[in-house]
């Protein structure tokens, strides 16, 4: 696998908080020139078999994927797993446990929104949910846009769904150590998703990368739809500093919502080791 490869190793389907099926995503990815693809639904691998079959039908190579929600230093951090065995029991059990708090959290989010005069948000969000075990903030955001409360999902997050706002409910996700272990013990590579998006101090970020590495994490996302061009450079430098391989992925969720389309990203900076070089024997 060459360094310059149209790999898109981060996106979401209706199995989590995307709006397209795995098959529609595969078709869109291939149409955009993606050569190596991974579907990385939040805390869920129920779409993996369909995604792999659809990738092959579209002539793409495939890596198994998931994006695991973790709590680190009081903040939600996302760890992408790539190339794992999707039948591994500890991984499946860990993801099930990580998903299990979402239902109660969603009801509390709805209660918070009721207190500021927004009625029926739980039921409204459910209409957008493709997987009953995976109700997320994104589904609430879609409901608030549909009901005219906000003009787009970005405004919903800013006004209602982030820390300190009425629909925000703090949540305890998996530990960093567990998430990295589930992925690596299933034969995969753990990747810190969109590191530029966390509101960490330099010390907290250093702690995140150090602990992640200690537990067996081996890569970070450098070129992602969640980074600015300046952050591509910043995290390329940090990947080299920590000895991490680099990943590339759009984090595509929906044609109407996502700014970065599947496969439409700059190449990884040349000095970096692409994460797919560590995954040669896991590519299907």
List residues binding ligand AMP (CB under 6 A).
Answer: 17, 42, 69, 136-138, 153-154, 157, 253
Helix or strand holding residue 76 (H, E): strand 75-82
> Quick one: 61 or 253, whose CB is closer to ligand AMP?
253
Sheet strands side by side (includes 189-192): 65-72, 75-82, 189-192, 219-224, 245-249
Tokens of 4: 């310059």
> Quick one: 136 or 250, whose CB is closer to ligand AMP?
136
Shortest distance in whole angstroms from residue 136 CB to ligand AMP: 3
Shortest distance in whole angstroms from residue 173 CB to ligand AMP: 8
Shortest distance in whole angstroms from residue 163 CB to ligand AMP: 11
Please answer whether residues 257 and 151 qualify as being in contact, where contact means their C-beta atoms are separated by less than 8 angstroms: no
> Quick one: 114 or 257, whose CB is closer to Mn ion?
257
Tokens of 177: 């150590």
Stretch near Mn ion under the rule CB under 5 A, chosen from 30-38, 73-81, 96-104, 117-125? 73-81
CA distance to 47, 224, 231, 240, per residue, from 95 (Å): 13, 23, 30, 30
For residues 159-188, which are near Mn ion according to CB under 5 A? Answer: none
Q: Which partner, ligand AMP, Mn ion, none, binds residue 99 by CB below 5 to 8 Å per kind? A: none
Displacement of CA 175 from its chain's centroid (Å): 16
Please answer whether residues 247 and 222 qualify as being in contact, where contact means their C-beta atoms are separated by less than 8 angstroms: yes
- Residue whose Cβ sits closest to Mn ion: 78
Shortest distance in whole angstroms from residue 59 CB to ligand AMP: 28
> Quick one: 227 or 253, whose CB is closer to ligand AMP?
253
Tell me: does residue 78 bind Mn ion (CB under 5 A): yes
Q: Which partner, Mn ion, ligand AMP, none, binds residue 153 by CB below 5 to 8 Å per kind? A: ligand AMP
Shortest distance in whole angstroms from residue 48 CB to Mn ion: 15
Per-residue burial over 239-251, b = 16 or more CB atoms within 10 Å of its CB, e = otherwise: beebebbbbbbbb
Report how far residue 52's alpha carbon sits from residue 58's, in angstroms, rounded to the nearest whole number. 10
Tell me: does residue 17 bind Mn ion (CB under 5 A): yes
> Quick one: 104 or 154, whose CB is closer to ligand AMP?
154
> Quick one: 6 or 69, whose CB is closer to ligand AMP?
69
Strands 219-224 and 245-249, bridge-based pairing: parallel
């Amino acid at each position: 696998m060459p360094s310059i490869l149209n790999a898109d190793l981060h996106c979401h389907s209706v199995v989590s908080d995307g709006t397209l099926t795995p098959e529609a995503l595969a078709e869109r990815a291939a149409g955009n020139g993606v050569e190596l693809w991974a579907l990385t639904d939040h805390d869920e691998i129920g779409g993996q078999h369909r995604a792999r079959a659809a990738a092959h039908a579209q002539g793409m190579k495939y890596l198994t994927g998931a994006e695991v929600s973790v709590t680190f230093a009081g903040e939600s951090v996302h760890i992408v797993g790539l190339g794992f065995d999707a039948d591994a029991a500890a991984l499946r059990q860990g993801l099930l446990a990580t998903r299990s708090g979402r239902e109660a959290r969603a009801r509390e989010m709805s209660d918070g929104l009721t207190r500021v005069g927004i009625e029926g948000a739980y039921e409204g969000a459910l209409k957008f949910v493709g997987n009953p075990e995976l109700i997320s903030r994104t589904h609430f955001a879609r409901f608030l846009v549909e009901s005219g409360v906000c003009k787009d999902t970005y405004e919903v997050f800013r006004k209602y769904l982030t820390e300190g706002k009425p629909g925000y409910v703090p949540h305890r996700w998996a530990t960093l150590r567990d998430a990295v272990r589930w992925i690596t013990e299933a034969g995969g590579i753990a990747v810190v998703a969109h590191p530029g998006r966390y509101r960490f101090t330099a010390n907290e970020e250093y702690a995140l990368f150090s602990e992640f590495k200690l537990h067996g994490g081996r890569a970070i996302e450098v070129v992602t739809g969640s980074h600015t061009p300046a952050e591509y450079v910043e995290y390329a430098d940090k990947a080299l500093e920590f000895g991490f391989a680099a990943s590339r992925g759009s984090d595509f969720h929906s044609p109407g919502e996502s700014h970065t389309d599947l496969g439409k990203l700059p190449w990884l900076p040349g000095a970096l080791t692409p994460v797919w070089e560590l995954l040669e024997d896991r590519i299907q």
